[in-house]
Each structure stands twice: as structure tokens, then as C-alpha cells.
A and B are shown apart, each in its own frame.
Chain A
Amino acid sequence: MNITGKARLKSPWLFHLNTGSCNGCDIEILAALTPRYDAERFGCMLVASIRHADILLLTGPVTTQMHERLLRVYEQMPEPKAVVAVGSCAVSGGVYTGSPVVDGPADKFMPVDVYVAGCPPRPEAIVKGILEALRKFR
């Protein structure tokens, strides 16, 4: 493994994309990064641009409106990339299954590496999901 690869394992950068979630999962992602659960001790950092990110945290059932934008964001992400689907919505559509304006879940049209279930999942579970995604970079 080259030196960038090693560095990536020690400091995965995260990008969070809301594709129609109810906010619950987004707040729990924020909570996972703040002092109580402190994902930052694994070197994680929430970055502002997808072009800097290693891991995409995806929440929500992917609405028709966000479908294209999600694909665009995914394509802009530099290799190697990992996608973590956070929450029942992102995993399976959750309570919004059957809605005509929901295109998801995301794994219908893009690769998803880790699924974190729960509505919303606990911050600990989200931290675990991020660490699981890191395996892909090993």
C-alpha cells in the first residue's frame, strides 16, 4: 500500500448528502461527529466538497428530484470511493416505500458498500458503518 493509501485509512474524509431524508439521520450523523460519540477520533472529518471526500454518507430514499444530483455527486467523487447508506430509508426506502416520487433506494442504480439500518440508526452504529467502509480501502 502506498503512502496515500495508508494516510486514507487514518483519516477518511466524509461527505454527507441528504437525498430526501426526514432530517433524523442527518442529525444523528452530526451527533456522531460531536463530542459524545466523537467519530473524529478516527480521523474522520466532514468536508464541504465531494471532490475531497473518501466516503459518501447517504441518507434518505432518493427522491426523483435528487436522483440526478446524487449520480452527479457520485461521479464527481475521486477514486477510491465508498458509499455508506445511513438509515432505513437509504437502505430500503423505509416508510416512504411506494411513493411515486421516490426513485430509490440508492442501491438500485449505484453501488453501496455498507448498509446501516435503523430509523434513525444510533450514532455508534454510524461510526461503526464508517469504520466498516474503511475496509474497502485496505
Chain B
Amino acid sequence: MDARNIDYEYSRLILPVGPVHPSLKEPVNLSVTVVNEEIVDVNVKLNYIYRGIEYLAERRNIAQTIYLVERICGLCSQAHSLTFIQALEEIANIQPPERAEFIRVICAELERIHSHMLLLGVVAYDIGLDTLFMYAFKSRETVMDLLEKISGKRVHHDLNTIGGVRFDIDEDLRRLIIKELKYVKRNLDYISEVLEDATVENRLREVGVLPSKIAEELSVVGPTARGSGLTKDVRFNRSYSVYRDYKNSFKIVVLKDGDCLARVKIRVLEVYESISLIETLLDNMPDTPIRIGERILKIIKRIPVGEAISIVEAPRGQLAHYVYTNGGEGLKRLSVRTPTIPNITAVKYMLMHRQIADIPVVFSSIDPCISCANRVTVTDAAKNKTIIVNLENLRRRM
């Protein structure tokens, strides 16, 4: 069917949702085609907050880029900088001390907890359950406090540096983390009780179903894939850092249903797993220094020309950085592939033949992070294929 030949019946409407829309926290445009209240086509436009981070990274030195990369996204800042630093360390052939790796992973897991809590809150808000939204945010603050105690900052931790971390976790802090995580766990018990409620179930069950076959075809990642029964988790499949040795301290959570409820439940269960992993890691922290002695400005001078790909499991799924250094303190190329890019293509499938009222909750259930998705995905309904184009092409096309 060619776009020009669609006969525009009266009932057929194109409904733009966004870029500035009450139910979306970030600028994204979903143009939804509806026939009598039923959604028949969805187009996603993502380029509203394209900030040219890759461009900037290629024009700054590596020490500056570490801070820039962290600011790709406020929710996965630790994941982004961890990925970037791992790639750099591979190129420079630097092995960070063991304790540093522990602290990195502890922070990454704390970040996963607060990010998943945020999703629980946002989904609750979208289905009109404001009490749960407030409740999830209250427990989330506890985790934010812990991150602040570790690094001094709530959102961007600026924790990683080449060859280690900048902040240590001492004995008092260790005990505090264990104590506070118990509180988070108690709150989580309550949240999972609320999710069993019949009203919540009616709003989420069998909404936005993504069968595992389609999920595999669209190569969705992270909790979205695991909610559809795929066993996809970088921490297991391609484990890195301390996950290699502590694979048995946490389980990979997979649910079969593929609906919004499954995706939400996955988040709750994963927080439990993260808590148990953090507890194990805190008990086994080795007593080494937290970074190598050399100063960062000296290190970046001796990073050779080289390229590396590093892949990490961010809260939303697999996050990959491709780094190509130029041998002169800078980067020749940085390419970032964020989990939202593959996941957002699944939104179209999930929304097909649903009602307009389901748009916010389905869209939030994949936990989109638009600020990460700095390129544009065009879903072509007529030809049923997905192409990724850059900004230039997009301007020409539209």
C-alpha cells in the first residue's frame, strides 16, 4: 500500500502525540493513525533532542569526554561512563584494581534499582494510580541518598575514571547501604502487593503484547526482551567486570507473557536480584587501592591509536559504545548504541489494534529514554521495514 493511495475515510485520523504532550516526559512524536478509535499505524519521530554528543566527543580530549558521555542520559549515567571507560581501558591496556571494579558494579546496580523504581512510578502515574507513583518515588529517594553518600552527587556521579574510581566505600557506608537496602526491600514488597490488585491488572494485563517471536525479530533488548520470554542479558551472555565471578549471586528474570504487566513485574523482580547482588559484593570487597596511581592527564597522553567496542547491561538493556582513539588525547570516532533504539521499534507492534487510552502506558512500559536515542528511526508501515537515517537525510525526506 503506497502512502498516496490510502483512501482517507472519515473515520481515519492521524493523531499526533507529542513532542510536547502531558503524558510524555520527554519530547518524542508518535503520529498515530486511528480508525474508529482503533490504532492501525504508529510512526515514531525521535530527533527532538538531538544534541550532537558524538560530534562534541570527537572535538574534546578524553578527560573531558568522560564527563560528556556521562551526560548522555541522566538515568543511566553510570552505565554510559562504565561502558566508555571499559572501552578506553581496553585500548590503553590498563587493568583497574579489583576494588574499583566492585565499586563500579555496586553503583551500576544501585542505578538499576533507582531507574526501575522510576519506571514503576511512571507506569503507576500513567494508569492513574498516583499513590503508587508517590510511594515508588519515596523509596527511590533512599537509593538516591546512597548514591549521593558514595559520590557526592545524586544523578551524575562522575565516579569512573580511567584506571579506577574516584570515591571509595568505607566501612560505615557499607553498613549504611546494607541497612537502607533492607528498607527498600520492604517497600518493594508493598509495591508488588499493589501490583497484584485487580484494577492494576485490568489496566496492564494483555495490553501491549509482544510475542517472543516478534521480539526476537525486532531484536529488542533488556527487560522488554526478558518480559517476552527471551533470555537476553549482557551480564550473563557476555559478562564483564565482576559479573564474571558473581554470576551465581543473582538470577536472570524472564517472564513469558510479553504484556505490560510482565514488563512491570520484571522490574520489581530485578530490583530484588540487584539488592541481593549488591549485598554479596559488599561482603566480598577486596582490600586493594581504588585507582592506579597515575594521573588522568598523564594517562590520556599515552593512549595509543586503537578501537574497541564495549557492551554493558544498562537498566534498559544492552548498551554499546564504539570508541576509536586518535593517539593524541582525543577521539576519532565515538558511536553509541542505546537500548531505546531497538525497543522503540517494538512500540508500533505493541500498540497495533489497541485503544488510544493505552498509548501512554504501553509507551512507558518499555521505559524509553529518549535523551539516549540521538538518531532517528523511521518505521515504514507501507513497506513494513525499519530504516535508521541520520538527521541530514531526515531533513531531506520530510
Which residues of A does B touch, CB under 8 Å?
A: 17-28, 30-31, 34-36, 48-50, 60-61, 63, 65-66, 69, 73, 94-96, 98-102, 119-120, 122
Contact = CB atoms under 8 A, between A and B. Distances in A.
A73 B20 contact: yes
Interface string B109-125: 00000000010000000
Contacts, number: 118
Contacts of B74: 21-27, 120
A30 B20 CA distance: 17
A62 to B, nearest CB: 10
Leading 6 A-B pairs by shortest Cβ distance: A24-B74, A48-B22, A23-B74, A34-B137, A99-B52, A20-B49
A60 B49 contact: yes
Contacts of B318: none
Contact of A26 (B25, B68, B133, B141): B25
B26 interface: yes
A36 B154 CA distance: 14
A134 B50 CA distance: 32
Contacts of B391: 101
Given A60-B49, A102-B51, A24 B156 contact: yes
B52 A65 contact: no
Nearest to A28: B155
B50 A65 contact: yes
A2 B336 CA distance: 54
B323 interface: no
B343 to A, nearest CB: 16
A84 B77 CA distance: 25
A22 B73 contact: yes
A31 B133 CA distance: 11
Contact of B134 (A22, A26, A35, A102): A35
A78 B27 CA distance: 22
Interface string B72-94: 11110100000000000000000
Contact of A23 (B47, B133, B137, B371): B371
Interface residues of B, number: 39
- Listed residue (A65, A100, A122) with the most chain B CB atoms within 10 angstroms of its CB: A65
Contacts of A49: 22
Given A22-B71, A24-B71, A63 B137 contact: no
B48 interface: yes
Nearest to A73: B20
B369 interface: yes
A20 B67 CA distance: 17
Given A35-B138, A65-B47, A120-B155, 10 more contacts: A18-B27, A23-B73, A31-B144, A34-B134, A66-B27, A69-B19, A96-B71, A99-B56, A101-B51, A101-B391
A48 B144 CA distance: 27
B101 to A, nearest CB: 25
A23 B134 contact: no
A27 B49 CA distance: 16
B55 interface: yes
Nearest to B60: A98
B279 to A, nearest CB: 24
A16 to B, nearest CB: 8
Contacts of B140: 31
A122 B74 CA distance: 14
Contacts of A17: 20
A73 B49 CA distance: 16
Contacts of B23: 48
A5 B225 CA distance: 52
Contact of A69 (B20, B144, B156): B20
A66 B26 CA distance: 11
A51 to B, nearest CB: 12
Output the residue of A18, A31, A99 with the most chain B CB within 10 A.
A18
A71 B22 CA distance: 18
A27 B155 contact: yes
